[in-house]
Chains A and B, each alone.
Chain A
């Protein structure tokens, strides 16, 4: 039983296309995240949602739009894909409990996006 699952695992597409990555967690956590890992393995937070409310929006282009239909799901939609969007996108979740959580994140396996 995968705790944090993301689909698809691999995504190859042309510049200018629109694509989505889906994420689901079955841990009962109240907070979910999207992180981007670039070609040099650097990890940077993109978005964070707590109980479906956007908490962190880290200077990400407007072409990226997260959507959280419920606490267990956080999807990422990307419009007008650019070459620089090629990266591995990780979904993660944690239990924050209104500030009482200890902050360890549980990560999905990643979605490797390649823009040609």
Chain B
């Protein structure tokens, strides 16, 4: 069965400090991996994705994520957090490469709070 785990419901960091939001996955084959962010009462916004190539991918708003195949992880990182980064972050995987299904499996989300 395909699954995505975000082990922390909440992550709290001080502004200016580095942040990490964790994600591990269990899917067959070589998946596509994604991070999305959701602000209150808004839809999900795409942050970044890993398809192939360099394990460190860079995305919007200074975020980056590191793909680790052996640990089946795709942790989201940012060197210096901003208060405006406070939001709900979702990790997602697409196991069916090369098909038209386009199905994404989402983790349960991690609420990031950055305090001033």
Seen from chain A, the residues whose Cβ lies within 8 Å of a Cβ on chain B are 4, 31, 33, 40-45, 48, 50, 55-56, 90, 92, 94, 96, 98-110
Contacts and interface: CB of A to CB of B under 8 A. Distances in A.
6 contacts: A41-B108, A43-B44, A50-B102, A92-B44, A105-B44, A107-B43
Contact of A56 (B34, B44, B51, B101): B101
B104 interface: yes
A103 B104 contact: yes
A97 to B, nearest CB: 9
A31 to B, nearest CB: 5
Interface of B: 32, 34, 36, 38, 41-46, 49, 51, 88, 90, 94, 98-104, 106, 108-109
A80 to B, nearest CB: 27
B46 A96 contact: no
Residue in A33, A104, A110 with the greatest tally of chain B CB atoms within 10 Å: A104
B55 to A, nearest CB: 17
Contacts of A94: 102
B88 A41 contact: yes
Contacts of A40: 108
A42 B101 contact: no
B109 A56 contact: no
B44 A55 contact: no
Contacts of A50: 100, 102
A104 B102 CA distance: 8
Contact of B109 (A41, A55, A99): A41
B113 to A, nearest CB: 15
B102 A55 contact: yes
Contacts of A109: 42-43
B45 A107 contact: yes
